[in-house]
């Protein structure tokens, strides 16, 4: 894999904050929104377990709404 994020202003290691990577934030939000539909899928069981351990999941979900609104408005 290449380093596609090298010139990006967002930090892919952050899940919240103004400099958090929108893809990272939306990834965790997607898992949280679809948690009930995914437990039978063995390919995402580790990711769901990791999501359940996130102490800042509510903040991630709030940030995801900001990101989605920015996408809808064309500002991101």
Rounded to the nearest 10°, the torsion over CA 41, 34, 54, 56 is 170
Q: In the numeric block, which tokens belong to residue 56?
A: 């800042």
Domain count of the fold of the chain: 1
Higher pLDDT, 62 or 13: 62
pLDDT at 2: 61
pLDDT tens-digit readout, 31-72: 999 999 988 888 999 999 999 999 999 999 999 999 999 999
Greater confidence (70 vs 13) lies with 70
Question: What pLDDT is stored for residue 19 in this prediction?
Answer: 92
Structural domain that includes position 28: 1-76
pLDDT (0 to 100) of residue 39: 80
d(CA 20, CA 24): 8
What are the start-end ranges of the E strands in the chain?
A: none
CB 34 within 8 A of CB 11: no
CATH number at residue 38: 1.10.10.1710
């Amino acid at each position: 894999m290449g380093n596609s994020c090298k010139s990006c202003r967002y930090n892919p290691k952050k899940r919240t904050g103004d400099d958090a990577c929108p893809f990272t934030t939306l990834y965790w939000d997607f898992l949280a929104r679809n948690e009930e539909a995914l437990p039978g899928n063995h390919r995402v069981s580790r990711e769901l377990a990791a999501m359940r351990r996130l102490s800042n999941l509510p903040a991630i979900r709030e940030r995801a709404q900001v990101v989605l609104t920015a996408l809808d408005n064309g500002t991101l």
